[in-house]
Structure 1
Amino acid sequence: MRRGRGLAVTAWVLGPLGLVLLLGSLMYARSAYTTATVRSGSMTPTYTVGERLFVERVGGERIRRGDVVLFSEPERYGSAGSVIQRVIGVGGDRVACCGGEGADERITVNGKPLEEPYLQGGVVDETHRQYDPYDVTVPEGRLFLLGDHRLNARDSRYFLDDHGGTVPVGVVQGRVVGHRAVPIALAVTGMLGVPVALAGVGFGIAAFVVRRRSRAVPPAPPWAVQQV
């Protein structure tokens, strides 16, 4: 009986634990992350057309400079759906194009040159530097966004007459996860829940069998003699 009780306790521990790991991971991943497909070359070479990205669901108030965000701004982009661009300036920042010449050309943020190793071909902003330079102070609660492929991105530079080209933080749907460690870890945790739950079922069956055997009355041996 003790052995059966131990198996039953193990089953009650492993079964629910496996379900918690499986369902908890799935529910958290579903609520905390989503995915997006790159549909244009505006973020080349960082992300390529057709690439599938993990996006962490965070509010715009948690976004920082350098983050790549998924946002929706139908008044600008029509039915194009969500857009992926990089945050260059947040509320209170002064973003200006451009300082320096040639290879030393840089966008400045609060007067400091911005290092951008992710740029396509190293081109900072050739068109706007020559013909339409800008100097924008980002309003509070808004973001100044640019694509990494500056010659192929329709970003804040093209809407300067609308709040300096910025977008409200409220349109942000999430932040692109540069590494997939967290989503993969959640998936692995959820997968581990399956064998743990199955092990719980196995121990439960074993406990049932042991208890049933212990309760069974053994038959009398054929040589037993009833005394009169």
Structure 2
Amino acid sequence: MFFFMEQPVFTEATDPFCLNQADAVALLTGAPWGRYAVVGDSLSAGTGDPTPGYQDQGWSDRVAGVLRSVRPDLEYLNVSETGATTAQTLENQAARMVEFSPDLLHLPCGANDIVRRRPDFAEIERTLRQMYDLAKETGALLTTFTLGRAYVVPVFPDWPQRIAAVNEIVRGLASEYGAIVVDMWDHPVNDRSDLLSEDRIHFSTSGQAVMAAEMVKKLALKSREVSGRGK
């Protein structure tokens, strides 16, 4: 006889990986960033189906809302496009990114670069590096994600290996360019049965809330580091 333990049903208020607005604002009080830009694909946009009990909002808009509570004069630009590859991000979004002159800038992590019959990982790294070079010239603090293991495209049997390969590229570039990387690959949220949207690709809003919380925590650490240097 087999016994299956039901997963607990969380709401945003009870989710152990979420932050309520007051706690998130407290973490980022004194944060120095006033011009926040987001470029890339649907992951950058925060695309996902609604989850009962969670605010229907993507991670990037959530983070912008926290920053605006800390800095009411925050300027926020999100020009991300569903389906955009890194090359398309460079072609269609980079000019607006540079013109905006961000001091905090989120970059994509190649999710759409690996949705092809035979991905060229050397080319993916070169293209991502072009993006990092251009982004670094803005002087902004850079942020990015790694892809979660719940993100699956069954038509490609080697999909987990593709994710692992592009995640290693992202981690390497983030380290080289001093970017904050929120590593979602092995986050416990990947094990939740209600994590994915109906398309089985994008995190639902419960996942978006968790990603926002993880980003806020990383930014809080960086903010304290910057403040400490200034003393």
Q: TM-score, normalised by structure 2?
A: 0.24
Q: In proportion to residue count, which structure has more strand?
A: 1
Q: TM-score, normalised by structure 1?
A: 0.24
Whose relative contact order is higher, 1 or 2, with alpha carbons under 8 Å and at least 6 apart? Answer: 1
